Structure formats: C-alpha cells, structure tokens
Amino acid sequence: MLNCKQVTHLLSEMQERELQWRERLPLKLHLLMCAGCNNFRKQLDFLHRACREYAQGRSDSTPP
Amino acid sequence: MSVASNSSVSGNDPSQLLRDERFLMGLRRDMLRFAELQLRDPAAAEDMTQEALAAAVSGQARFSGRAALKTWVFAILKNKIADHLRQRRRIVDAASLAREAADEADFDEHLFDRKGFWRPDEHPDDWGNPESTFAQHQFWAVFEICLTQLPDNTARVFMMREFLGFDTAEICRELGIATSNCHVILHRARMGLRLCLDQRWFGSEG
C-alpha cells in the first residue's frame, strides 16, 4: 500500500518515464481513494501545461 | 491593444507585423526574459533574441496574426538556446546540484506526516480550470517569479526538460549524473514551483 509521499514521487516520475504495471496498479488504487493526491496529480498536469504555454510565448508583457 | 496598432496586422508578413514598434518591443522583452531565465547570461540572451528576431524577419513563412508569429519566434529562440546549452560543457555545477537535491528530504518532511500522508494543512487543493488561469495576464508574472525562486541549477534542469523538451536521458548524460538523481531534481523543481504558485497565486485568490 503506497502512501501519499510515494505517490507524489511516482506521479512526478510518470512525466519522465513509463511506469511498470506493478507500479501502476497500486498508484491507481491510491488515487481512487485519495482526494489530496488526485488534486496533486492535476496540479502537476497544470504545471506541465503552463510550461508548454509559457515556452510558446503565452506570457504577455504588453500592457493591455 | 489599441485600435491604431491593429492597422498593421492586415498583412501576414512577419516583417510587416514586426514593424509595429509596440508589439516588437513587447515581444523582445518577453523573449529576453525567457532566454535569461535559462541562460543566466544577459549577453548571450541578448544575442539569441536578436538572432531569432532576425531569422523571423527574413523568414518566408506567413502568419495568421501576432500570437502565431510569437509562437514561431519562440520556437526559433528555443532551438538557439538548446544548441547553445548542448555546445557548452558543464551546463550546471554538479556539486551544488547535489546540495540542492539533498534539501529535498526537508520538503517531504514539511508536507507529509511520519507515515507519509499529507499533513492536514498541506492537503493539495483543486486549482480549477487551467485555461481560465492562463488567460490572466498577472498569472504569468507570478509564474516567472516562482521560476526565479527555484534554486539555480534545479531551475536550469527543469527548464531544459519542460521548456526546451530535452529528454531526461539526455539531461542526465549531459550532467553526468544517475537517472534517479535526475528524477529527484525534476521532482524537487515541480514541488517548489507548485508550492510557490499555491501560495502566491491560488492562495491569494481564495
């Protein structure tokens, strides 16, 4: 049974490498039960998207 | 955006779009900041911004507006930064990188209890719809502040990964460190950025 700390590390590593099936199942089970880690997962997704937008010149320094 | 500056958007030729001085200045400023964040070398950042703009003006491509042009110019800039980083040996200082990574334990201790579960006041919140956040001008200023607050080397590795699209294996190889260390560094960068945005952006909203 994974704890939240382990889950945050796994979720972050998912952005670097494909997880093995024996890592994926306990992760899925934990996420089914844990609202905090679910939000954390969405936050990581948010960060990834924000970086992509930023690196495409999304930030706009021109005053409106 | 003023009505007057709209008139020059009629042509989709980059040299024509770039003739709008106000747009060009804003674009240059954004590019410089983006390059400086990653290079920590104002002179090199200036050179690369200049080269990318020159390439854009002489390019044959056509654009359906400023946002598309900006995306394209940023793509040129990213390529230049990536080439520069690849050519330069010792992109980051391995010793201070190790020191920065060692602090990661403290991070976890702060967030999780002894059993490794979220402490009640550290429980991650729902950040809502990303698109509506990205649409807010002020968000990007906070985002930049949070990037500059990451430890230097950690930030550099993170930006190589997330901005320039280096794959993790290449970063580890360039840095001469183990893959697991690389993962720890990237994780730490995400945790730092996440905490900073949570406090400085999402915290202030709620």
- ipTM for the complex? 0.91
Question: Do B45 and B108 fall within a single domain?
Answer: no
Question: Which of B29, B60, B87 finishes a domain?
Answer: B87
Pick the more confident residue, B35 or B100: B35
Helix extents (H) in chain B? 3-6, 14-17, 21-39, 42-58, 66-87, 94-102, 104-111, 130-134, 137-149, 152-162, 168-175, 179-197, 203-205
**Does the pLDDT value for residue B6 go beyond 60?**
no
Predicted pLDDT of residue B10? 44
Say yes or no: B71 contacts chain A, CB-CB below 8 A. yes
Question: Do B100 and B152 fall within a single domain?
Answer: yes
Distance from CA of B93 to the nearest CA of A (A): 22
Say yes or no: B106 contacts chain A, CB-CB below 8 A. no
Q: How many domains does chain B have?
A: 2
Domain that holds residue B182: 94-205
Question: Which of B32, B62, B87 finishes a domain?
Answer: B87
Question: Which of B87, B114, B141 finishes a domain?
Answer: B87
Q: Give the mean pLDDT of B110-121.
A: 94
Question: Do B201 and B99 fall within a single domain?
Answer: yes
Residues B168 and B179 sit within 8 Å (Cβ to Cβ): yes
- Cβ-Cβ contacts under 8 Å, B194 against chain A: 40, 43-44, 47
Chain B, window 118-157: residues with a beta carbon less than 8 angstroms from a chain A beta carbon: 118, 123-127, 130, 133-134, 137, 140-141, 143-144
CATH number at residue B48: 1.10.1740
